[in-house]
A and B are shown apart, each in its own frame.
Chain A
């Protein structure tokens, strides 16, 4: 873990667990979780796209719920558990969502797909057999390459797999 040796009266230690590993960070409490993940902890799979929670490329799970980390202050993650795209296949075995992404050849440029996969994993955790309407309502991530049809097909594939679990 890299830490910045800065001194500021605003800084207080933040403790959080990321992909099963505990971290204590000395950063400003208002620093967005995204930048703590990318620059302080060094997990760059989570991307920066807009900084205003509009595109979803920064989506991670906070205590299992999807959040857009570009606007979430790190203080809101204090004492909590964060899962990023790197944590979705902890033992190198791809999750069902990731496997479906390969099977359907979903990504093009791939930049939005970390966030897309995390959003879909959360959607399926909450709604294991989503209808098209559930997908439309629950997934608002932007993909400029236009992979939406494959995203939808891959989601249904995971939902229709034998045990229905997305992990």
Chain B
């Protein structure tokens, strides 16, 4: 994907060379949602999705989202091309520049206002909620690209452009527009035999007025959506030509390596810079409030010189914090298990524990910056990989004490995001521009090591959840309650089951470890808690865990269908050899319902092998079938690696883990066979980047129980002996 050069596009018009471009303000096509955007949105140029048709009949689609491997750019282009009746082979995509005009937040807000609450009558899901909070930003997160920008922007933009092309053709040929047919980037009028390509019609189409409510296609007539399109970003990812932030370079650029205060909030107290000053290639040792940076003519030399320093940092008063102290506070905050009905025939209680997790994107954090001038006149250029270029630009401007419009930020394809590069977690941009300011006007690329990355993340929060359930004499559940720490929300704690008494109450136990958004966010912990506990209730009731769940979702057809599909795909109920087991779980997140069955084998010594994962996913409908499948596979592996292996621990206020040796990831040998099925429901489009994550850990632990009788209540699983109980 090439980067767009800095230009200002407002409204429809011609481009140099006679092409046609169309900007769509989402509210124009969603008149009932006027109140959701500011009245002067148009005047402020709040334009989001753009289609350009060039004289050579190519269609350029500008994407206001970053590409981090999730395939959003391809899926969004498919949604626009479908409505446009484009020839898919003539479509190209580019990422929108980091300009206010491309803020996508308001489109997602429109989605939240008019769309999402209808889903289950229980409010806006978390991803859309967060994205609404980030209105005015250009965020890629919360699994919102397709269901927000695609549904509310790309489809409308494509349909409007098609109507303008048809109108232009009808005028030129003096025929009724209703007799003109758009297909494969060409308008045809059968009766007169006239025909023209979009490229030929584009200059005239650009003078047509923009329709305010273009007609969207009937899904039954889709020809591009629901197919498997090759991802448009892939060719550059197999020959080394893809450019990530870490690959950006410019003449005269220097490199910086960082040592950051090991306890979050700590400050640099003292550092003797002499050992580094004397080393080859070193240009300067830069002291920052909370870090020290060595700037040199190569990253390796910068890093080597940094290793020669012995900086002293303060601990911000958190030097006694440990994993144990945090969980002791969690335990105290939770208090006794929640009360359940006294008339129950059987009650059960269980505590579940989830650790801090790091994102560990394969590309570490990197920020290159060039700073010129001083004070309010400071100008800066920033090159970084971010999930929100507008907030990243603000962070850079604030760090430099200058206006955001004095900062130009160029985004790149991301070497993984998973939530690490979201708004309000741009410490790497903040540090990067401050290092560059100290070297002004020389450009500096600050590269985080893996050690920096793992020790200075915004972690997935640790949490403890205390559950109590009650069953009557027939094994029918009467109550399922929980108290939890670590945060929650209506979506994450929601259970679809029909149980007379259900409550989940968050308890506060603040700690000093900074937290952020991690793929599927709070659903990642709560999916494990609630779907493990319902499994324990099923076993306590003496019932099959799938049938038990199915009996409790008779009024929730989407959950029922997903559970049944996953069960049937997995051969649920058919006999397995000794030492093998299946587990099931279903979670609803980001508007998507995902049921998974995991099939495991556990040796008599307790050696675990995950053999198969079956996922049945109802995300309403699928845009790019193969891309959607890849997201499911990726989410499952991401969740599996965390469930089996991952744990960030704290000692003396510092993160203990340093690199992939002590924060390991699974390899291909550990990867199960994954079978995915998509259920097409009438539901609005749901997200896909995150929903396959939450059910994996509980389905896996439920499978281990089925195989061994060992109930795993703490992640990662490696901490529990799986020798048959």
Contacts and interface: CB of A to CB of B under 8 A. Distances in A.
Q: Which of A52, A57, A110: most chain B Cβ within 10 A?
A: A110
Q: Which of B243, B449, B450: most chain A Cβ within 10 A?
A: B450
A47 B385 CA distance: 15
A105 B255 CA distance: 34
A110 B244 CA distance: 10
A117 B240 CA distance: 10
B328 interface: no
A145 interface: yes
A63 B641 CA distance: 34
Interface stretch (B89-97, B293-301, B375-383): B293-301
Main DSSP-derived SS at the B contact region: loop
A84 to B, nearest CB: 7
B281 A101 contact: no
B362 A142 contact: yes
Contacts of A49: 362-364, 450
Contact of A84 (B240, B297, B673): B240
B33 interface: no
B362 A143 contact: yes
Main DSSP-derived SS at the A contact region: loop
Contact of B638 (A50, A140, A144): A144
Contact of A146 (B237, B299, B626, B638): B638
Given A35-B299, A152-B668, A145 B239 contact: no
Contact of B635 (A8, A110, A141, A146): A146
Contacts of B673: 149
Contacts of B725: none
A140 to B, nearest CB: 5
Given A55-B660, A107-B234, A108-B71, A43 B668 contact: no
A52 B661 contact: yes
B630 A150 contact: yes
Contact of B363 (A111, A147, A149): A111
Interface residues of A, number: 64
B221 interface: no
B361 A54 contact: no
A135 interface: yes
Contacts of A150: 630, 633
Nearest to B359: A144
A35 B298 contact: yes
A31 B300 contact: yes
Contact of A110 (B237, B417, B637): B237
A139 B667 contact: yes
Interface string B234-254: 111111111110110100000
Interface string B657-686: 001110001011101011000000000000
A62 to B, nearest CB: 17
Interface in A98-139: 98, 101-102, 105-114, 117, 135-137, 139
Contacts of A12: none
B362 A57 contact: yes
A51 B453 CA distance: 12
B496 interface: no
Contacts of B239: 45, 85-86, 88-89, 94, 98
Nearest to B626: A105
Contact of B240 (A32, A114, A147): A114
Contacts of A102: 230, 234-235, 238
A73 B191 CA distance: 73
A113 B298 CA distance: 24
Nearest to A55: B660
Nearest to A43: B240
Contacts of B242: 110
Interface string B557-571: 000000000000000
21 contacts: A10-B280, A44-B243, A45-B240, A50-B450, A50-B659, A57-B362, A88-B240, A102-B234, A107-B231, A108-B69, A108-B71, A109-B413, A109-B417, A110-B233, A110-B234, A111-B361, A136-B668, A144-B416, A146-B640, A147-B637, A149-B633
Interface of A: 4, 6-8, 10-11, 28, 31-32, 35, 38-40, 42-52, 54-55, 57, 84-86, 88-89, 94, 98, 101-102, 105-114, 117, 135-137, 139-152
Interface of B: 68-71, 230-231, 233-244, 246-247, 249, 255, 280-281, 297-301, 360-364, 413-418, 447, 449-450, 626-627, 630, 633-638, 640-641, 659-661, 665, 667-669, 671, 673-674
Given A39-B299, A109-B361, 19 more contacts: A11-B280, A40-B298, A48-B447, A50-B659, A52-B659, A52-B661, A55-B665, A98-B238, A102-B238, A111-B244, A111-B362, A136-B668, A137-B669, A139-B668, A145-B69, A146-B637, A146-B638, A146-B671, A148-B637
